[in-house]
Structure 1
Amino acid sequence: MSKDIKIKKGLDIKLVGVAEKTTENAIISNFYSIRPEDFHSIIPKLVAKEGSKVKAGETLFYNKDNEEMKFVSPVSGEVTEVVRGPRRRIDAIKITADKEQTFVDHGKFDTNATAEKIKAHLLASGCWAFIKQRPYDVVAKADSTPRAIFISGYASAPLAADLDYTLAGKEAELQAAVTALSKLTEGGVHVSVGKNSSSPLSGLSNAIIHQVSGPHPSGNVGTLINKVGPVNKGETVWTVSAQDLVIIGELLITGKFNAERIIALAGSSVKKPRYFKTKIGSEISTMIYDNGVEKDGNDRFISGNVLSGKQVGADGHLDYYSNVISVIPEGDDYEFFGWNKPVFDKVSTSRALTFSWMNPNKKYELDTNTNGEHRAFVLTGNYEEVFPLDIYPLQILKACMYQDLDEMEALGMYEVAPEDFALTEFICVSKQPHQKIIREGLDLMLKEIG
């Protein structure tokens, strides 16, 4: 049985460069990179040394706080470099892939096994990395029991990959993963899909299906959590991305950790936006330059969507959780008297000299220019217009900035993640880095409260 969730507050940002629904195999990447920073709060202890050979699904490092939590290689090959930062921090593990791939056999698994056996299998095989928790938006603690598990199967962010398309034909893997995860909680597995969509997630058993509609961030898992059951002090919920269910399910069915992922290459700087089949950690150059992205162009490459993704170089790698590469113009030019004339080519929630509200279906070609400078918060009331959670966004941001833990708790910090504030950051007239502020606030709470 499905339950409807309709979001009224939010903002759809329609951009030029949505990926066409055709899939190609990306050029096989020779080099892969895994960055421990993708797994926030994890302190890695290296297992695979430079020069060692690894199979796909073999352990690269484990969590210092829980040795059973493994993080594995997406491909077989040779560990050619361990990039270190200050205090010998591990910044990246680089792997040169074999021409013929070999896999660690983790063994086929009965999804009806006990919760403890399922948990141990996911930890040992590297699939635990795909399970995050709230509070704190970090890799889930293995010794906790979630009140419920939440999965968003609807992507509403600008230029996001269409999950109905990328998950098509993966019903068996999705069902295996959801069946296993349902054993780990008594509160059920809540899955959101687009209203009236043909999502492969719609027919899952052992799941509670919610049909969502409305503007972005209706597709954020944080919105689903807030509307179904907000996280209170002392409670924990887990989240899993729909794309990662496929990897978990395939591991349970076949015993192989297959890091294959369908990626949307999108953005106004891409002449032929489309989907590619590649693997976690691959070089993005294997996809971007054959599709009309100019090598000498002044563009920004983003692993993830344009609101909450990570900036990478043209020689960078796909991060562990993303299923889209966004390429948009770099906004390092400035308009003379841009603040003092009518604006027709930008998105704005304000009607003062802006006219995007008159063309709700128009697609825009935006760049990364912030169109203003950093300044103190201005009380406009605009944040509440695009923020559908039952939380005061400005107040919680300020509480994070002056590090008042009691106030952060009272305002609902336990249920938020940085991506929930991507839209308020986009429309912020003060040009404050909302997502960075929330991330630092969550880190402080994790350190002080745990």
Structure 2
Amino acid sequence: MSKTVKLKKGFDIKLVGKAEKQILDFQPAKTFAIKPTDFPGLQRPKVTVNEGDTVKAGTPIMFDKAMDRVQYVAPVSGEIVEIKRGDKRKLLEIKILADSKISYESFDKYSGSTLQSLSKEDAIGQMTKSGVWPQIIQRPFGIVANPEDTPKAIFISAFDTNPLAPDYSITLQGEENNFQAGIDVLSKLTSGKIHLNLNAEGETPSVFSNIKGVEVNKFSGPHPAGNVGVQIHHLDPINKGDIVWTVSPYGVCQIGKLFLEGKYDASKIIAVTGSEATKTGYFKTYVGACADTLVEGNLKQNHIRVVSGNVLTGEKISKNGYLGFYANQITIIPEGDYEEFLGWIKPSTTKLSFHKAIGLLSFLNKGKEYVVDTNTHGEERPFVVTGVFEKVLPMDILPTYLFKAIISEDFDEMEELGIYELIEEDVAICEFVDPSKNELQGILRNGIELLMYS
């Protein structure tokens, strides 16, 4: 039964630099990279190619020894130019010099009618060998799903409330048939429901209209209303022993395209955002693209930080770094490596803050957009119990006590306080408002790994 959920807790981070609704004409990236660090839970990556090898889009380039059925594949065709390793030979990235024209590995094609007769085993077989399986994320733990498991339900968040989030009506334009085909394939993988969660306050993009085989729910409220973890909590909470899967709208379309066209198509439209970008908008590229062509010549100043993703959960990369596997935007903001005398206590009319004593205009002018940098305006200090986390996290969880349980490695308390319902993106807003400046996303991941590997 469909639900409409109205959330009051949360905080919208309104920044300057939202993507203009235009397709930008940047030079295409020449190199692309797959980074094992993009996949939480990937334990022992095994490289299956060598430097100098030529690959097609969809050619396997690595797998996880702990789950060797799932292949991680090349997003483009070209030459393997570097297999970069760090300390103790840890695999950092596999870099590909792309061909001017992409060629593809061939997989089985299905029409709309033959998709209906597709078996679960055949669906999983094609998805795991072709490279689309990593689009399916397991909750709890936020790791690539195990194809041997059967989830009780699958959840898709069809809107994004993160800062400067891209517009799905642009990034998924014309993907209606692929999205429906992706839903048809995913329906083979669970006996439960597929939940498609829409924004109750905005116009629904056409790609999500008239979709069959899903239960449509609507959510309203400030960020993190668009986080799939928050939506799961209000629709069908995760208890110990439960397994649910989540898929992004892009991931659903990519799965559908694999079965309709018989190829692994890693093309995607990403948003170029941020206050320090001269031009903002949208750009068509491929998964793992080098950011150099998006950054060079597109800066208002040079002292900046480039983020693969959004400012809350994204990864800092260099100007010639590579977009993450799951990133759907690149954000360019000022670097904040400076000291400010009493910066944590001085009231200001130019700062964005959840705390009224500091960010006065954040509350007097709720529609104002702000230029923010990376400065934390304070040092890390012991936890201060202020109750602020409970004001921005719309879940029946006590975050402060959960973080303390993780730090003290109290497994029973972690489970009782709801760690199975959370991954990093769910507590990112807590990290933003935290007066103690703790790296809460890192603390949570440490707790998750303690439970996973204990």
- State the TM-score, normalized to the length of structure 1: 0.96
Cα contact 1:25–1:278 (8 A) shared by 2? no
* Cα shift readout 1:252-291 (whole Å, capped 9, x = no counterpart): 1101111111111101101221111111111111112243
Aligned counterparts of 2:374 and 2:330: Cα–Cα separation in 1: 15
Q: Which amino acid aligns with 1:342?
A: P
Partner residue of 2:184 out of 179, 186, 196: 179
Aligned counterparts of 1:424 and 1:115: Cα–Cα separation in 2: 39
Aligned counterparts of 1:351 and 1:67: Cα–Cα separation in 2: 51
* Cα shift readout 1:83-137 (whole Å, capped 9, x = no counterpart): 1122222111011111222100112134321111111111011111110101110
Q: Tell me how far 1:198 sits from its aligned partner.
A: 2.4
Aligned counterparts of 2:4 and 2:210: Cα–Cα separation in 1: 15
- State the TM-score, normalized to the length of structure 2: 0.96
Matches within 5 A, 1:284-433: 284-294=291-301, 297-355=302-360, 356-433=362-439
Q: Which amino acid aligns with 2:41?
A: S
SS of the equivalent of 2:208 reads coil
Q: Tell me if 1:214 matches 2:200.
A: no
Aligned counterparts of 1:439 and 1:353: Cα–Cα separation in 2: 30
Q: Tell me how far 1:25 sits from its aligned partner.
A: 4.7
Q: Tell me how far 1:183 sits from its aligned partner.
A: 1.4
Match of 2:443 in 1: 437
SS of the equivalent of 1:12 reads coil
Consecutive unaligned residues of structure 2, counting only runs of 5 or more, are: none
Count matched residues: 446
Aligned counterparts of 1:39 and 1:157: Cα–Cα separation in 2: 20
- Change in 2 beyond 3 A, CA 1:435/1:339: closer
Partner residue of 1:201 out of 208, 215, 218: 208
- Change in 2 beyond 3 A, CA 1:432/1:337: closer
Partner residue of 2:165 out of 160, 163, 177: 160
Cα contact 1:111–1:118 (8 A) shared by 2? no
Q: Tell me how far 1:415 sits from its aligned partner.
A: 1.5
Aligned counterparts of 2:16 and 2:410: Cα–Cα separation in 1: 41
Cα contact 1:45–1:64 (8 A) shared by 2? yes
Q: Which amino acid aligns with 1:89?
A: K
SS of the equivalent of 2:182 reads helix
Q: Tell me if 1:89 matches 2:90.
A: yes
Aligned counterparts of 1:10 and 1:342: Cα–Cα separation in 2: 22
Partner residue of 1:121 out of 123, 126, 129: 126
Cα contact 1:265–1:288 (8 A) shared by 2? no
Deviates more, 1:75-84 or 1:60-69: 60-69
Q: Which amino acid aligns with 1:34?
A: I
SS of the equivalent of 2:68 reads strand
Q: Tell me how far 1:202 sits from its aligned partner.
A: 3.3
Match of 2:269 in 1: 262
Could you list the runs of 4 or more consecutive aligned residues of structure 1 that deviate by over 6 angstroms after TM superposition?
Answer: none
Match of 1:146 in 2: 151
- Change in 2 beyond 3 A, CA 1:100/1:351: closer
Match of 1:78 in 2: 79
Q: Tell me how far 1:398 sits from its aligned partner.
A: 0.9
Match of 1:111 in 2: 115
- Change in 2 beyond 3 A, CA 1:168/1:87: same
SS of the equivalent of 1:178 reads helix
Match of 2:250 in 1: 243
Q: Which amino acid aligns with 2:176?
A: E
Deviates more, 1:70-79 or 1:158-167: 158-167
Q: Tell me how far 1:2 sits from its aligned partner.
A: 4.7
SS of the equivalent of 2:270 reads strand
SS of the equivalent of 2:22 reads strand
Consecutive unaligned residues of structure 1, counting only runs of 5 or more, are: none
- Change in 2 beyond 3 A, CA 1:71/1:358: same
Match of 2:69 in 1: 68
Cα contact 2:35–2:92 (8 A) shared by 1? yes
SS of the equivalent of 1:301 reads strand
Cα contact 1:396–1:411 (8 A) shared by 2? yes
Q: Tell me how far 1:353 sits from its aligned partner.
A: 4.4
Cα contact 2:58–2:105 (8 A) shared by 1? yes
Sequence identity (%): 42
SS of the equivalent of 2:24 reads strand
Match of 1:271 in 2: 278
Cα contact 1:262–1:278 (8 A) shared by 2? yes
- Change in 2 beyond 3 A, CA 1:290/1:207: farther
Aligned counterparts of 1:371 and 1:299: Cα–Cα separation in 2: 17
Aligned counterparts of 1:293 and 1:22: Cα–Cα separation in 2: 19
Aligned counterparts of 1:344 and 1:333: Cα–Cα separation in 2: 19
Q: Tell me how far 1:30 sits from its aligned partner.
A: 1.2
* Cα shift readout 1:173-220 (whole Å, capped 9, x = no counterpart): 100001110111111111111114222213211111112111000000
Cα contact 2:343–2:378 (8 A) shared by 1? no
Aligned counterparts of 2:84 and 2:204: Cα–Cα separation in 1: 44
Q: Tell me how far 1:168 sits from its aligned partner.
A: 2.1
Match of 1:54 in 2: 55
